[in-house]
Copies of this chain bind each other. A is one copy, B any other.
Amino acid sequence: MKTAILSVGTEVLFGQIINTNTVYLSQQLNLLGFDVMYHYTVGDNSCRLSEMIELAFRDCDFIITTGGLGPTEDDLTKETVCETLHDQLVMHEPSLQALHEIAKKRGRTMTKNNYKQAMMPSRAVVFDNDAGSAPGFALSEGGKTVICMPGPPREMTRMWQRSVRPYLEKLQTAVIFYKTLRLFGIGESSLETELLDLIDAQSDPTIATYAKEGECSLRIASKRGSLEEAQSAVDEVIEKISDRVGEYIYSYDDEELAQVVGKKLIDRNITISACESCTGGLFAGALTSVSGISQVFDRSLVTYTYNAKMKELGVKEETLSKYTAESSQVASEMVCGLKEKTGSRICVSVTGLTGPGGGTPEKPVGLIYIGCIFDDRLEVKEIRMRNVNREWNRHYAVLHMLDIVNKMLAQKSV
């Protein structure tokens, strides 16, 4: 089914925000077997929005809009879609109820704008928004459908997963089944080179590679007459891929590395503590994103200064002055001090240079040291990351820490 994605919002036209919604929806719609024909962006302008809808319907069956559902005056998407598809807005009681509850929770009174948000086209299928205030909806006329979702990416993706995808899946006759594998430690080009003959040979399942924040994903999708057929076609290809690049795959189920590691720790009841310098708490932040981690995660000591490293972890002053904080010696003393202090079965440390300043020819920005102890086994690794920018370097250092913990977990079964 032919589909257009229509983003509404002057901030997009100003280039103030990157249109990640459209990327996400394009991927998702393609996976469902919808053909995305156009992306459009217009400002908060009723007349131009209406024109775009009419234009898209010349050859599309579906239009998915994001944005312009907020409570304010310049949010016009709902009103415009309703008018263009010849419907009227009526008060939608469940939405009004939900907005009342949000207001109550926040200790605020309902504004006039809130009532506006609860009005919905009379023929609409309404999608509630459990991550924000603006509900979404689907409205059809003459076999064509407009689906409107809120603009904030968190609200949009949540609504997509909970309501819009299931709604669209029901309309689709062929069944698409896909799996997403996640890999760490191999670049997208190398991955593609390894799999090129597989990628070229397949028309179904399709194999697509994606690079994302220092990791790679592989999406294997099949569109068949039944779920079983699609599933077994996908599994067959995954087996071939596994034979070639299995060592880099950390998830066969599109899970983040922190989730994979955190769940293993919880399942096996293995306690963990960390001490962080250059990652500044982001390792702990990533690991504690896993629900239930408090069972096994004891603490992380973010020791930024020399003083903190000495006082908290017992790093020796002469080690710091002789080798600098960015050294395997310091990474080792940090993790040993942490082990002594916490007794956690796994202890992990990191120190290094994430920039932008501070690099030298021998110790460039991007150089990090990770220490890891699992029971009585100590490993210290030097890693030279490509220096992109501070934010990316910090993120990538966390992935390396998780990767090392994951590998140590794999080597030891109890």
Contact = CB atoms under 8 A, between A and B. Distances in A.
A27 B111 CA distance: 34
B30 A38 contact: no
Contact of A301 (B39, B219, B302): B302
Contacts of A391: 289
A371 interface: no
Given A18-B23, A288-B302, A299-B302, 4 more contacts: A38-B48, A293-B304, A297-B304, A299-B312
Nearest to A292: B357
A16 B219 contact: yes
A262 to B, nearest CB: 11
Contacts of A111: 189-190, 193
Interface residues of A, number: 106
A339 interface: no
A292 B274 CA distance: 23
Interface of A: 7, 10-20, 22-28, 30, 36-43, 48, 55, 70-74, 102, 105-106, 108, 111, 113-114, 131, 152, 154, 178, 180, 187-190, 192-193, 196, 199-200, 208-213, 219, 221, 274, 276, 279-285, 287-289, 291-294, 297-305, 307-308, 311-312, 341-342, 355-357, 384, 386, 388-392, 394
Copies of this protein in the complex: 2
Contacts of A311: 341
B388 A208 contact: no
Nearest to A24: B15
Contacts of A308: 298-299, 342
B11 A219 contact: yes
A341 B312 CA distance: 10
Contact of A307 (B24, B221, B287, B298): B298
A30 B13 CA distance: 9
A285 B281 contact: yes
